[in-house]
Structure 1
Amino acid sequence: MLKSGFGWLKSSRFWLLTIRDGREDQARAWLAQLANSGLVVSAKRVEEGKAKSEASISEAVAVAFSFSGLKKLGCSEAETHPFPTPFSSGMGSALRKELLRDTSRDQWRWSDVEGHDGCQTVHVLVAQWWVLDEESRMEAPDPDVFVIRTVENNPCSFKKKEDGRLREPFGFRDGLAQPVIRGLREEGGASRKQAERDAGHFYEDRVVEPGEFVLGYRNEYDELTYCPNVKEWPQSGDRFTLNGSYLAVRQIQQDVEAFEEFRKANGQGICEKLMGRRMDGMPLGWQGPPGSDSAADAFRYRVEDANGFACPKGAHIRRSNPRDSLGIDVQSSIKSSKLHRLLRRGRPYREETDSGTRDGLFFIACNADLERQFEFIHQRWVQNPRFGTLHDQDDPVVGSLPDPKTFTIPGLPSGSEVTLASFTKPLGGGYFFLPGIAALNFIVRHRAGARTAAAHQAEAAVP
């Protein structure tokens, strides 16, 4: 999942599973079957598959666990190496609500903590991708074992303008400006040479140390990322969380009708100012036809657009990745930005309701430090009403300030601000641990094995 976003697998489904009381053994058995199915794809297998052809991998699955899910399956954190507080407390906790500046969660349908009124407590997240218009090979979970909520992909998300590129429900190109993980996601051979050629000297702005996303590796501080452990983990060397990552997950409903009304009233150019990109994904200062993904990520703000005349200071992409604009100089700013990068693995979704269809984004961000990465970005940049010398404004696309909201656009001949309503609302969220292959196999097998050994000892003691 960290190696690849499986862009060629255009069908997707996300399973939000709650293990029913007393059904832990059956849940573990289903998870073990899934782990053995060949659908959980390692980074090595992705690399081998790309060397042959992407079509050699026609379906992939990733499995992640909330803190309450790990406890439900018998994994208890070690006192010497406990899990970080954001993960153990959960995104759904009252503390994280305040830290994340979530004004209201009355509409949430699910979370990662027990006791959240009216919400499903999710223990296991299963992400599934497969070839569009083909049948999935994954066996569905048993409703007698799990409480099941599914989030299905939007079949139109890859088809708009018929270019096969992923688009979010408002119609903008999605999945751009991803970090390149040194040693894991660096483009190899000719593709890397082409990426470096397209991006020029901006290419290194994207390259981030693996420890920013994978636990146990060197990060941008040149330190080994902290690895928590569980008491039951049998290995004396490597810890349970080595090769894992944390997922910050949010289900975000998008009001496409309201956005289209805003577009009609204000024009396409103003909508692109809110997002910070053209509809085709290219930066707002770009001239000419769309370029490559590397070219779409090859820009900075401090020199080229310090005052926000091209991309406003409060635009969505400028808040989520300020690049070189917040430090004392260009290089220190880029270095600082690399401490707060996210690897996005979400997909657009569509759900049927009594009043019609609703579109949205199932947002997934991979990171190794929830506080320094996801929470910092969400609190200090996206939801901060004073970001970039602004006043009483948050993110124009995913902000949570009450309506009516304003958005400052420097250089507008008719005035510097436009009024807008909320276009999105979160329907749920949680923090999950994405284990490495060894840890996943341990989670789904260790308790059954422990009972078997105990049974053998008891039988041997019987006269």
Structure 2
Amino acid sequence: MTYATRPQPAYGRPAGGDDLPLRTSREIQGDIIAGAKKDHVQLLLLKFENDAQARIWLRRLRPRIATTRQVAAFNAEFSKARKQSGGDDPKALNAVWRIVSFTYPGLRLLAGRDPFPSVAAGSTQEAYKQGPAARAAMLGDTGQCAPEHWLFGNGTGQPVHAVLTVAADRPQDLRVALTEEREEAARHKVVIVFEQDGATLEGSRRGKEHFGFKDGISEPAIQGFDAPDPNRPEHKKGSPGTRIIPAGEIVVGYERDDGMPTDLPDWAWNGSFQVVRRLAQDVPGWWAQVGARLKDLKSREVVPPEATTEWLAARLVGRWRSGTPVSKCPHADSPSDAEAWSDNDISYRDDLEGEITPLFSHLRKTSPRDGLLVKPGDTQTVPEKGALDGRRIMRRGIPYGQPFDPAGSAGNGPDAPRGLVFVCYQADLVKQFEFIQKDWIEEPDFPHRDPAPGRDPLVATATDVTFKGCQVHFEQFVRTEGAVYAFAPSLSTIEALADGKLNGGGGEDGDRVLTAPFVLRPADGAVGTDKARLAMRQDGNLVVLDERDQVRWESGTAGSGGVKAVFREDGDLVVLAPDERPVWKSRTTGNPNAKLVILTDGNVVIRAADGTVIWQTNTAH
């Protein structure tokens, strides 16, 4: 069995005339790209007491798991009915969706072996194996947000093996489904470690998070799932500014922005890494802080005298409460504009210093778009595609707890639990979620300026921000209270796990086959199997590493200026300098359709189209 050679989906017009093949996928779970968008959600965090019983539980659960095909068809019908009714939700259309994901310990227990027996430092496999508690300090989860204060996933309490998400349109349907799932869990010695509820806020708060701002606006569109705009094919039809990204950024095994094949095994294809975080929000504290900082800024005469707390809060977020971008409506909200709330067609090219939308705003910190300079002091900006390549995530968050209302009951009081259940999917935990959290949200000097703009004052740790040339301090009012990293596998992999198998995993039964054109740079890390991984090093050397990270073969090009290795369509493997000059060659040119194969026995070979080995590293062991 091979992996990384499975045919890529056709995104033009495949056989049968289907322009959007991913919409009919029965393999990808329904929440990942279609979105199990329901008003009522419950996450059951589960622990397996007995591996055999857990597999029986999973086998019985399998028919209830929602697929992309099911969810996409329902969402399309629901949207059509809502338009026909003038914007009201159709009462006759209701569904219950279930999604399941597994932490590394849970996956290992079900499979009966290590799903990633050998992982490279800095890889998504390493992050998944370690889990968020072990990486908390790097992500800003310190102090009151440190794992010892978490309600789940802290690494010292009950382990979490799986996350079962149940989502429904109606609360009564959710109750019935949860009763069934709790009984199934109890019957098969599956312990519910923690239950996390979530629900869409009601009335004027609908679609907003507890601070009062419209949420879930800036999600990317997916190639092969979302229809492109005929006039701007890089954007989703009917959603100006929503850029279509390759499916491989969210779902493992498909084309990615960088064109690199995945280094994950077959069993991971059609799956996605899931992040779950419980983020508590101190709503009255945050708004009181905004009012206090506004008073201070007015005393320093750096904001207009007519500025309100709404004005300043919108700049911290980057949007007004309605979702209207500050960049387009800098002076006031426009809630009467029916289209403004969903507007993603945002540019910062004319606001590089953050005079309108501050550089520290949540919107710019998490999606800088075209507001990044090629180099400090320059006027040339990085295109949005270049700035966001490989960094997008698919968010599926929902509020939990009752809204803050001083005149309400105790459940609406200032100390009642409330916040956001943050859920996101991506193909790479490190390059996507962790990068956004560590290098953008928590980095005071992103984007780089002098003085530094500061951290994201909405969700990051306490920070000093630079606003209109002044330093302004913001305390932290969003706390992490739990987190897990999980993997939502394909329906076929779920079936295999129910049988105690993990087909194609860990390199036990699969060579790594790379087809031309293939490019490997130092930043890409190593690719391969358990016993052999090919890596391009910063010193210009192309090397083969064994399972102990020992060099078994090298091109001998250290110090040569080599910056990348390229497997060409003519069958030649070369190391190139910055000027594209070869500094090393395998000398196998003249072999179109050849393949570069990293074998499970540790050898790396180039095979001609007829299967003949025409070059090898002789590193089998």
Which category describes the TM-score, using the shorter chain as reference length? 0.7 to 0.9
Query: What runs of 5+ residues in structure 1 fail to find an aligned partner?
Result: 229-238, 448-463
In structure 2, what is the equivalent of residue 452 of structure 1?
A: none
**Distance in 2 between the 1:345 and 1:198 partners?**
18
**Distance in 2 between the 1:19 and 1:56 partners?**
35
1:397 matched to 2:458? The reply is: yes
Contact 2:58 2:494 in 1 (8 A): no
Cα 1:41–1:186 shift into 2, 3 Å: farther
Displacement after TM superposition at 1:76 (Å): 2.3
**Distance in 2 between the 1:250 and 1:376 partners?**
16
**Distance in 2 between the 1:270 and 1:26 partners?**
55
Residues 44-83 of structure 1: pairs in structure 2 closer than 5 A: 44-53=69-78, 58-73=95-110, 74-77=112-115, 79=117
1:339 matched to 2:390? The reply is: yes
SS at match of 2:365: helix
Of 289, 296, 310, which residue of structure 1 is paired with 2:356?
Answer: 310
In structure 2, what is the equivalent of residue 101 of structure 1?
A: 140
Contact 1:24 1:72 in 2 (8 A): yes
Q: Deviations over 1:48-93 (max 9, x none)?
A: 3345446655110110000011122224225578871111121121
Give the letter for the 2:310 counterpart: Q
In structure 2, what is the equivalent of residue 359 of structure 1?
A: 418
Displacement after TM superposition at 1:431 (Å): 1.1
Cα 1:292–1:446 shift into 2, 3 Å: farther
TM-score, structure 1 as length reference: 0.80
In structure 1, what is the equivalent of residue 339 of structure 2?
A: 292
Cα 1:270–1:313 shift into 2, 3 Å: same
Q: Deviations over 1:88-144 (max 9, x none)?
A: 121121xx22432332313112217xxx33x33211011121013332242133455
Cα 1:385–1:160 shift into 2, 3 Å: farther
In structure 2, what is the equivalent of residue 174 of structure 1?
A: 215
Give the letter for the 2:255 counterpart: R
1:256 matched to 2:315? The reply is: no
Q: Output the aligned Cα RMSD.
A: 3.1
Residues 80-95 of structure 1: pairs in structure 2 closer than 5 A: 84-93=125-134
Of 168, 172, 176, which residue of structure 2 is paired with 1:134?
Answer: 172
Contact 2:322 2:341 in 1 (8 A): no
Cα 1:334–1:19 shift into 2, 3 Å: same
In structure 2, what is the equivalent of residue 11 of structure 1?
A: 40
Contact 1:324 1:331 in 2 (8 A): yes
Give the letter for the 2:459 counterpart: V
Contact 2:96 2:173 in 1 (8 A): no
In structure 1, what is the equivalent of residue 405 of structure 2?
A: none
Contact 1:214 1:243 in 2 (8 A): yes
Displacement after TM superposition at 1:179 (Å): 0.5
Displacement after TM superposition at 1:3 (Å): 2.5
Residues 147-162 of structure 1: pairs in structure 2 closer than 5 A: 147-154=192-199, 157-161=200-204
Cα 1:368–1:332 shift into 2, 3 Å: same
Cα 1:178–1:89 shift into 2, 3 Å: same
Contact 2:228 2:235 in 1 (8 A): no
**Distance in 2 between the 1:314 and 1:215 partners?**
32
Of 467, 470, 475, which residue of structure 2 is paired with 1:409?
Answer: 467
SS at match of 1:62: strand
**Distance in 1 between the 2:488 and 2:348 partners?**
34
Displacement after TM superposition at 1:182 (Å): 0.8
Query: What runs of 5+ residues in structure 2 fail to find an aligned partner?
Result: 1-30, 80-91, 295-308, 375-379, 403-410, 502-621
**Distance in 1 between the 2:136 and 2:75 partners?**
41
Cα 1:28–1:421 shift into 2, 3 Å: same
**Distance in 1 between the 2:477 and 2:415 partners?**
17
Residues 237-256 of structure 1: pairs in structure 2 closer than 5 A: 239-256=266-283
Displacement after TM superposition at 1:340 (Å): 0.7
**Percent same amino acid among aligned pairs?**
25
In structure 2, what is the equivalent of residue 235 of structure 1?
A: none
Displacement after TM superposition at 1:197 (Å): 5.8
Once structures 1 and 2 are overlaid, which stretch shifts more, 128-137 or 384-393? Answer: 384-393
User: Highest CA radius of gyration, 1 or 2?
Assistant: 2
Contact 1:172 1:278 in 2 (8 A): yes
Give the letter for the 2:390 counterpart: L
Of 32, 49, 54, which residue of structure 2 is paired with 1:2?
Answer: 32
In structure 1, what is the equivalent of residue 162 of structure 2?
A: 124
**Distance in 1 between the 2:344 and 2:263 partners?**
30
SS at match of 1:110: coil
Q: Deviations over 1:355-403 (max 9, x none)?
A: 95211111111110111111111111000122222548321011124xx
Greater relative contact order structure (CA < 8 Å, 6+ sep): 1
TM-score, structure 2 as length reference: 0.61
Displacement after TM superposition at 1:42 (Å): 1.1
Give the letter for the 1:48 counterpart: A
